[in-house]
Amino acid sequence: AGLADKGEIAVGKDADLVVLSPELEVKSTYVGGVLSFRAGSDLTAHP
């Protein structure tokens, strides 16, 4: 059901990731392998 590209970090898989600090604060997010958010940064020029 569309899950073949999910569930692991590997070549050819979707790269939708959230990077957390040890305190569980969101540090960055990646959508399709592209950085979409970094804490403390303005990424609006690079959606």
CA nearest 32: which of 1, 6, 40?
Answer: 6
**Token match 């979707």: residue?**
14
pLDDT at res. 10: 83
Quote the CA–CA distance of 30 and 19 in Å, as a whole number. Answer: 8
Q: pTM to 2 decimals?
A: 0.67
Band of pLDDT at residue 32, cut at 50, 70 and 90: confident
Please state the rounded mean pLDDT for residues 5-15: 81
**pLDDT for the residue 46:** 52
H helices, E strands: number in the chain: 0, 3
